[in-house]
Amino acid sequence: MAEARVGVVFRPQSPPEDLRETVLAADKAGIDELWLWEDCFREGGLTTSAAALAWSERLTVGIGLMPVPLRNPAATAMEIATLARLFPGRFVPAVGHGVLEWMAQVGARVASPMTLLREHADAVRRLLHGETVSVTGRYVQLDTVALDWPPEQVPPLIVGARGPKTVALAGQVGDVVLLDSFLATPEYVASEATRATEAARAAGRPAPQVITFVEIEPNVPALGDRARALIAELAAAGATSVILQCTSQNPDPGPLIAALSR
């Protein structure tokens, strides 16, 4: 089994002005990936991703995730394409339902989140691959829309999922499934990787890669050893990338980055 890529999260409980120091530290430490959240009502994922990509030399930067009720798919594709062209191969955004209570709070919650996610993901994929898209769906309506600047290196379509129905949908429409940190045990990762793979094969698509977030308390002895053991367990269960996040009470990833420094 291939070794899993390793990432850390800059949680939105930390102020945006702390991001640059984290980016530089992760870049220097040899961390593979830096992930950002787009939690309401903290920090924008696209703005922070653009800054992180510009400040780093080699980091892959991900957003986990962009809530689809908040964005028209054409705008989503435009933003992804722009960053993918500016930083080829280093930007990996994910899409998903978002927290439904927050979506209701801003007047964006829909009656069928699964339908919206399917329609949105399909439209974004087609636009990023340079298609001219016309669709009249329940939620997505596009009339001969095409990007002037589709990416030459198209990022994988990552779909965030919690719950069996959304995991299966991620397998059907995504290149990668992003699993939730609160559930990230080896048993859960293995079962949901199987679920996503079976759904993908039933849809005639290749098995998706699996990214999992997992929470770790940074103020513990032998932090690096604990983190590496956790990474190894989740990789053995089927995760292709393991993204470590500190707790909301201690969100600063600095100690974790230092412990994982290569």
Report, as an integer, the average pLDDT of 177-181.
Answer: 91
For the chain, domains (ranges, CATH) are 5-260 (3.20.20.30)
Distance, in Å, from the CA atom of 101 to the CA atom of 99, rounded to the nearest integer, reads: 6
Buried b (16+ CB within 10 A) or exposed e, 37-73: bbeeeebebbebbbbbbebbeebbbbbbbbbbbebeb
- The rounded percent of the chain whose pLDDT value lies above 90 is 94
Q: Which residue in this structure is represented by tokens 């053991």?
A: 229
CA 169 distance to own-chain centroid: 15
pLDDT digits (tens, 9 = 90+) for 1-15: 568 999 999 999 999
Tell me: pLDDT of 235 over 80: yes
Distance, in Å, from the CA atom of 94 to the CA atom of 158, rounded to the nearest integer, reads: 4
Backbone angles phi, psi at 260, to 5 degrees: -95, 0
pLDDT digits (tens, 9 = 90+) for 35-68: 999 989 999 999 999 999 999 999 999 999 999 9
